[in-house]
Amino acid sequence: MPHILITGANGQLGQALTTHLEPTAKLTCWTRPHYDIADPAIADVVAETKPDVVVNAAAWTDVDGAEAAPQFAFNVNALGPKYLAEGCARCDGTLVQISTNEVFAGEPGRFYHEFEQTSPGSVYARSKAAGEVAAATALDRLFIVRVAWLYSAGASNFPARISAAADRHGALRVVSDEFGNPTYAPDVAAAVAKLIESQRYGIYHLVNDGWASRYEWAVELMRLTGREALPVDPISANEWPRPTTPPPHAVLVNQAGAALGIALRDWRDALHEYVQSEFNK
């Protein structure tokens, strides 16, 4: 039974990983403030813990907040993976570094494969791209797993916020010119487990199949929750100002994982399961 250490175990993906891996692995689950991956000493703790695999699901994910606090974002998202990778190198462990579609510029009409050149724009995106490089510099036994638009039941995420806004206002205005891959955290957890078993290190895009705009995602959520009559108006990203501008079309293609037989289901099917879990309790 492999020993797997999960950082950020209380987050959306961390919880999904814990649920999926618990029956088949010995798990060590780390959360802040008890374990801070931005502390250089965390490398020593990893080496002493001697996991077979570390899955780094810990991250600074406040995209807009990173613009005002770049040092903190880089501490967690860039130095954190470096220290974890160093710890893994000392105990012959493997690291699964969770990254993001936002490492790409998201040029309109582009679809991004695993080995394309990154071009991050925001502080958050640059910190995550730096984490990929830092981990790869310190460790060969490395999986870089990029995800996009992650969500799961019982968490604060786009579907939860959209649903709450629909209940509160009785109508929605949703950006229609930002595109990505809505991705269900339990599906990523299952795919990560298969990836670990493969021992084929490298860069992977583990996202649900297909892609959508924020607007299309919201419309499908309203349909699945029986609120298809609720008005949903498409707006441009310029009409929804933010401290940072997300990449407009950072749509990922799962080529490397699919070549190993690791493919995630259509995003609409995953959203249906999410609705069953979140709204039919």
Cα angle at 102 between 98 and 107, to 5 degrees?
A: 145
Contacts of 264 (CB under 8 A, 6+ apart): 183, 184, 187, 188, 191, 206, 207, 208, 209, 254, 270
For the record, the structure tokens of 235 come out as 């707006």
Residues 72, 127: contact at Cβ < 8 Å?
no
Q: Distance (Å, rounded) from C-alpha 77 to C-alpha 62?
A: 11
Contacts of 190 (CB under 8 A, 6+ apart): 20
151 - beta bridge partners?
184
Which residues carry out catalysis? Answer: 124
